[in-house]
């Protein structure tokens, strides 16, 4: 009797496990595309927010390409987009990353006019401390707006520091490491773009 009961229990558990796996598989298939679509929608909204006013000759989203550039934040491919107006080179959006945040990686989208002036900067992923470092998000504070219209053409390297270190950028209160990481990442991206601008539009990025 004990063996029979044990066998039945084992079979019941196996059936429950199989049913659970099937249910999880079904849920994954059902939710995978909506989650992907939601992420894509958020990305599209952010890209639009860092581009200058249109209209553009084509949807900049359709220009998506990838590159690997250590100056933009690592060894994995990062996305970028280009925009044209009346056949003229108008703007680029670069995805950049820094691992120097207080809690790890910070990923951003940087919108630039063709000549290298910042249209806008937006953070798309981070793990910074709520109430402190998360002030880099535009929905949490206006801190990130200070990057608008900046460029390396009008700011020397010394300016790309927090004001407490003699630079021209305000830091988030209680989040010096986070603030400095973003400022330095943007400066590296601008220097890279200045050296690779033509490749971004004609060949798909530099190195």
pLDDT (0 to 100) of residue 35: 59
CB 44 within 8 A of CB 10: no
> What percentage of the chain carries pLDDT values higher than 90?
54
Cα distances (Å, whole numbers) of residue 29 to 19, 20, 35, 36, 166:
15, 14, 10, 11, 53
Task: Quickly state the pLDDT bin for 37 (edges 50, 70, 90).
Answer: low
Whether pLDDT at 24 is above 70 = yes
CA distance 47 to 58: 14
Domain ranges of the chain: 1-49, 50-202
Whether pLDDT at 74 is above 80 = no
In this prediction, residues 142-160 reach a mean pLDDT of 89
pLDDT (0 to 100) of residue 39: 58
In this prediction, residues 183-199 reach a mean pLDDT of 92
Whether pLDDT at 150 is above 80 = yes
How many other C-beta atoms lie within 10 A of the C-beta of residue 162?
17
pLDDT (0 to 100) of residue 79: 87
In this prediction, residues 110-135 reach a mean pLDDT of 95
Strand order in the sheet with 118-125: 65-67, 78-85, 88-101, 104-113, 118-125
pLDDT (0 to 100) of residue 158: 87
Whether pLDDT at 42 is above 90 = no
CA distance 31 to 36: 9
CA distance 9 to 1: 12
pLDDT (0 to 100) of residue 70: 85
Q: pLDDT tens across 82-107, in order? A: 999 998 999 999 999 999 999 999 99
Least reliable range by pLDDT among 113-117, 148-152, 193-197, 199-203: 199-203
């Amino acid at each position: 009797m004990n063996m029979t009961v044990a066998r039945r229990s084992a079979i019941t558990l196996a059936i429950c496990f199989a049913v659970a796996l099937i249910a999880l598989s079904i849920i994954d298939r059902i939710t995978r595309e909506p989650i992907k679509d939601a992420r894509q929608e958020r990305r599209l909204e952010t890209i639009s927010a860092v581009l200058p006013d249109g209209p553009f000759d084509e949807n900049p989203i359709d220009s998506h390409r990838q590159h690997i550039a250590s100056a933009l934040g690592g060894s994995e491919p990062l996305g970028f987009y280009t925009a044209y107006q009346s056949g003229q080179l108008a703007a680029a959006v670069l995805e950049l990353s820094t691992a120097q945040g207080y809690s790890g990686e910070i990923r951003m989208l940087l919108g630039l006019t063709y000549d290298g002036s910042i249209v806008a900067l937006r953070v798309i992923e981070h793990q910074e401390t709520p109430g402190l470092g998360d002030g880099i998000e535009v929905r949490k504070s206006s801190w990130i707006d200070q990057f608008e219209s900046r460029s390396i053409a009008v700011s020397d390297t010394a300016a790309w520091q927090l004001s407490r270190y003699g630079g021209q950028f305000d830091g988030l209160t209680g989040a010096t490491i986070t603030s400095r990481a973003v400022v330095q990442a943007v400066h590296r991206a601008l220097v890279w773009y200045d050296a690779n601008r033509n490749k971004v539009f004609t060949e798909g990025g530099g190195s």
